[in-house]
Chains A and B, each alone.
Chain A
Amino acid sequence: MSKINISRRLFIGASVYFVATPVWASIFNTVNSLSVFSQNGRFFTAKEMTILSDVADIMIPRTDTPGATDAKVIDVLDALMLSWAGSETKQQYKFIIKQIGLIAQSSFKVNYQSASRADRELLLNKLDQLSFVERSTELSKSYRKLKEMIFHIFYTSEEANPNFMLVPGTYKGDITKNKMELYNVKKRVS
């Protein structure tokens, strides 16, 4: 496996405000378990959507339960960028996507989309660890903000809440697991 190269300059020195808005070329690539977006979103470009979607999928993969891709987290995030995100968040998300690309290039000598799934997972795990140790850099703040939103969108999704009851009916505070599962199947507490 490649060694992840997050240089000191990248991790500490990069300023979100320095990065100019990138112009992404359209790339169509189906290699390495990467879902590739061919169309721009409402806010993100196709390439950004591709990277973000992969990041979300690595963060919250499908296991025996749906993952971020199943919940269309990035499609939702793309829409939220227009209705929810402020200017700082918009800059931060653009910034972190670009930085992930730079880290991949620096580490693997290929762009993020061309790296293997294993390498991309390694990159993100390393970035995740570093971002919670060194919390004051722009890279760290931007990554953590993106992660928090990806998790929020996923965990408020229908896919992540199969037992959600809009109208429970009542509350019971002293029941067995079997009883709870029975109520979940009924979608009602009665």
Chain B
Amino acid sequence: MYDVIVVGSGITGGWAAKEFCEKGFKTLVIERGRNIQHQGPEYTDMQMPWQIENRNKVPEIFSEEGRYSIIERKGYFKNATKQFFIDDKEHPISYPKESPFKWIRGYQLGGRSLTWGRQSLRWGVKDFQANEKDGNGVPWPIGYDDLAPWYAYVEKFIGVSANKDGLDTLPDGVFQKPWEMSCAEKFIAENLKKAYSDRHLIIGRSANITEPTKEQAELGRGQCQARSYCNRGCTFGGYFSSLSATLPAAKKTGNLTVVTDSIVETVDYDDKSGKATGVTVIDAHTKEKRQYRSKIIFLCASALGSVQILLNSKSKTFPNGIANSSGAVGHYIMDHFSGVIANAKVPGFDNKYSIGRRPIATYIPNYRHEQKDDADFIRGFGFQGTAQHRSNTGTTAKKVGIGAEVKMNSNQPGPWRFRAIMYGEMLPRFENYARLHPTEKDQWGIPILHIDARIRENERKMIKRAAIDIKEILSAGGCVDIKINEFPETKPIAVGDRVHEMGGACMGEDPKSSVLNKWAQSHDVKNLFVTDGACMSSCATQNPSLTYMAITARAVDYAAKLFFKGLL
């Protein structure tokens, strides 16, 4: 019997483990994927480009066999990183043909904390108010003020390098020294300051440490070395992951047990006591089942992973899945979406250069919390962009031209160019859902998920406006030769593509319409908490991981207090 079971070892599971262990709880972390050693042989960050197997090309047999189909074209899926992503052929999901869903996963100790983008952005006051304001989704039972101290708590531990920008829409936090902007980015930023009061280009806020604290150093973490090899695993511990930070902190307490290669099939529930009693797992290799018992259970299995477990955990009290008296489990599935990519020349600076590989982009925060006259949609969008390096003439690998002269003109510095991609807020809709497939099961006998979540009219209208806005912003920023790629209405946009899938067990005041209360505690089962992306009632525009971590730390604090009072 454990005090706590944490399901999942990713960005929230690691936090739950750390917090509980540090409070003295005997904590079991159950990870469905394999064990990975921090700084171990699966990290490829210390390999030169010519040392990486296959010169970093993924074996073509994957494509021939229909493996890794949803991820094969992604820039981050290379031979040096493929070990950190699952093959969707082995882990199928179901979705309507006309609205494919992308569920990009990493089944290993640390989960997707090994490969995340590290953009660490707080939500603002208005982000938490959006559902109540426009009537979409379930109103958040918490606001910025509830989470602010936990954002600070998390930022201090993980290490966020950022600038204090003084923006209400993107509150400042506890920061280390920010990364530099390039001369081109500074030029745009300065021009935007002159042109707008509400549109800003700022340096991104990155979970890559620039000034290691004593606590970080004691965990074996070092300063980020500007390599941008984060998703190969970082031998320096320069970026935050479960492996580099939270799990080592948990382990130091002596209270942590980790079990890998174990897939949680159900959260087990005692109808008489009204409590969750533990979990049943299936061994990933032998397929044998076993149970673990605990007093408290935290689901941190990723949004859809937790939803799958909840729905599959049926009992007399919960015939539709544990904690699902509301019928809301599996609903309000969201992701950020894009639909606009911009590219513009920044004139001048021909005698300026850059060096090093900055691990974070710049950011234009959402400025459309209040609907403006030119908007026929609600909510808003931000942009992530970069002109970190000058453009390059490239080579003629895919163009006409061979020989000496062509070679000498290759890879020469070109002008500075700024590229930006839109991140839009998808409305929370009940009809965007995930449920258990009625007949299809995975190789462990667990029903696979069927996910039907779509970009709809509001999102399409947002794309149209974002295309106009970014052109105007870049022009005001002093850019020329502005090229906008706006996805046409007919082009499908797969939900899940931004890898920020969330929702499915949303927080809310009313147990009839939500799954979790303001502490991410199940309304129905008091010793069950869900603190990964499933708990999100809306998705705002900011990268969500910092918010997940803050919600987790806060929930653990609450659960621990309840436990010590004998209330769990």
**CB of A129 closer than 8 Å to a CB of B:** yes
**CB of B485 closer than 8 Å to a CB of A:** no
Query: Which A residues, 52 to 68, have Cβ-Cβ distances below 8 Å to chain B?
Result: 58-61, 63-65, 67
**CB of B55 closer than 8 Å to a CB of A:** yes
Residues of the A chain whose Cβ atoms lie less than 8 Å from the Cβ of B397: 147-148, 151-152, 155
Residues of the A chain whose Cβ atoms lie less than 8 Å from the Cβ of B352: 174-176
Residues of the B chain whose Cβ atoms lie less than 8 Å from the Cβ of A65: 407
Partner of A172, one of B354, B396, B398: B354
Asked, given contacts A80-B55, A174-B354, whether A168 binds B403 with beta carbons under 8 Å apart, the answer is no
Asked, given contacts A171-B179, A172-B354, whether A144 binds B398 with beta carbons under 8 Å apart, the answer is yes
- A124-B402 Cα distance, complex, nearest whole Å: 8
Minimum C-beta distance from A148 to chain B (A): 5
Contact with B along A65-81 (1 / 0, CB 8 A): 10100000000100010
Minimum C-beta distance from B448 to chain A (A): 28
**CB of B356 closer than 8 Å to a CB of A:** yes
Asked, given contacts A166-B227, A171-B356, whether A61 binds B183 with beta carbons under 8 Å apart, the answer is no
Query: Which of B56-64, B128-136, B242-250, B263-271 lies at the interface?
Result: B56-64
Minimum C-beta distance from A86 to chain B (A): 3
**CB of B355 closer than 8 Å to a CB of A:** yes
A171 pairs with B55, CB closer than 8 A = no
**CB of B181 closer than 8 Å to a CB of A:** yes
B50 pairs with A168, CB closer than 8 A = no
Contact with A along B396-429 (1 / 0, CB 8 A): 1111111110011001000000000000000000
**CB of B225 closer than 8 Å to a CB of A:** yes
- A153-B402 Cα distance, complex, nearest whole Å: 15
- A135-B60 Cα distance, complex, nearest whole Å: 22
Residues of the B chain whose Cβ atoms lie less than 8 Å from the Cβ of A171: 179-180, 226, 354-358, 388
Q: In this complex, what residue of A is CB-closest to B49?
A: A156
B355 pairs with A175, CB closer than 8 A = yes
B55 pairs with A172, CB closer than 8 A = no
Minimum C-beta distance from A30 to chain B (A): 23
- A61-B50 Cα distance, complex, nearest whole Å: 19
Q: In this complex, what residue of A is CB-closest to B395?
A: A151
Asked, given contacts A84-B57, A183-B355, A189-B355, whether A167 binds B398 with beta carbons under 8 Å apart, the answer is no
**CB of A136 closer than 8 Å to a CB of B:** no
Partner of B54, one of A83, A125, A183: A83
Residues of the A chain whose Cβ atoms lie less than 8 Å from the Cβ of B48: 158, 164, 166
Query: Which B residues, 219 to 252, have Cβ-Cβ distances below 8 Å to chain A?
Result: 225-227
Minimum C-beta distance from A173 to chain B (A): 3
Minimum C-beta distance from B509 to chain A (A): 45
B357 pairs with A168, CB closer than 8 A = yes
**CB of A170 closer than 8 Å to a CB of B:** yes
A128 pairs with B227, CB closer than 8 A = no
Q: In this complex, what residue of B is CB-closest to A62?
A: B404
Contact with B along A163-190 (1 / 0, CB 8 A): 0111111111111110110011000010
B185 pairs with A173, CB closer than 8 A = yes
- A144-B329 Cα distance, complex, nearest whole Å: 51
Partner of B398, one of A148, A164, A189: A148
Query: Which B residues, 49 to 89, have Cβ-Cβ distances below 8 Å to chain A?
Result: 49-50, 53-61, 63-64
Residues of the B chain whose Cβ atoms lie less than 8 Å from the Cβ of A84: 54-55, 57-60
**CB of B186 closer than 8 Å to a CB of A:** yes
A175 pairs with B353, CB closer than 8 A = yes
Residues of the B chain whose Cβ atoms lie less than 8 Å from the Cβ of A110: none
Residues of the B chain whose Cβ atoms lie less than 8 Å from the Cβ of A21: none
Size bin of chain A's contact surface = 35 or more
**CB of A161 closer than 8 Å to a CB of B:** yes
Residues of the B chain whose Cβ atoms lie less than 8 Å from the Cβ of A125: 402-403
- A180-B183 Cα distance, complex, nearest whole Å: 14
- A121-B403 Cα distance, complex, nearest whole Å: 8
Minimum C-beta distance from B228 to chain A (A): 9
A180 pairs with B355, CB closer than 8 A = yes
Tell me which of A129, A166, A176 has the highest count of chain B C-beta atoms within 10 A of its own C-beta. Answer: A166
Minimum C-beta distance from A108 to chain B (A): 19
**CB of B46 closer than 8 Å to a CB of A:** yes
- A180-B404 Cα distance, complex, nearest whole Å: 26
B63 pairs with A86, CB closer than 8 A = yes
Minimum C-beta distance from A17 to chain B (A): 15
Minimum C-beta distance from A186 to chain B (A): 11
B354 pairs with A175, CB closer than 8 A = yes
Tell me which of B63, B185, B355 has the highest count of chain A C-beta atoms within 10 A of its own C-beta. Answer: B355
- A189-B355 Cα distance, complex, nearest whole Å: 7
- A91-B467 Cα distance, complex, nearest whole Å: 44
B403 pairs with A88, CB closer than 8 A = no
Minimum C-beta distance from B229 to chain A (A): 9
Q: In this complex, what residue of B is CB-closest to A127?
A: B402
Residues of the B chain whose Cβ atoms lie less than 8 Å from the Cβ of A166: 46, 48, 227
Minimum C-beta distance from A22 to chain B (A): 22
Contact with B along A106-142 (1 / 0, CB 8 A): 0000000000000001001100110010000000000
Q: Which residues of B contact A (CB under 8 A)?
A: 46, 48-50, 53-61, 63-64, 179-186, 225-227, 351-358, 388, 395-404, 407-408, 411
- Could you jot down 30 A-B contacts, CB within 8 Å? A58-B403, A59-B402, A59-B403, A60-B402, A60-B407, A63-B407, A76-B55, A83-B53, A83-B54, A84-B58, A84-B59, A86-B64, A125-B402, A129-B400, A152-B55, A155-B395, A155-B411, A156-B56, A158-B50, A167-B225, A167-B227, A168-B226, A168-B355, A169-B225, A171-B355, A172-B180, A172-B354, A174-B354, A179-B353, A189-B356
Q: Which residues of A contact B (CB under 8 A)?
A: 58-61, 63-65, 67, 76, 80, 83-89, 121, 124-125, 128-129, 132, 144, 147-148, 151-153, 155-158, 161, 164-177, 179-180, 183-184, 189
- Contacts A148-B397, A171-B358 known; list 7 others, CB within 8 Å: A58-B403, A128-B401, A151-B395, A157-B49, A164-B49, A166-B48, A173-B354
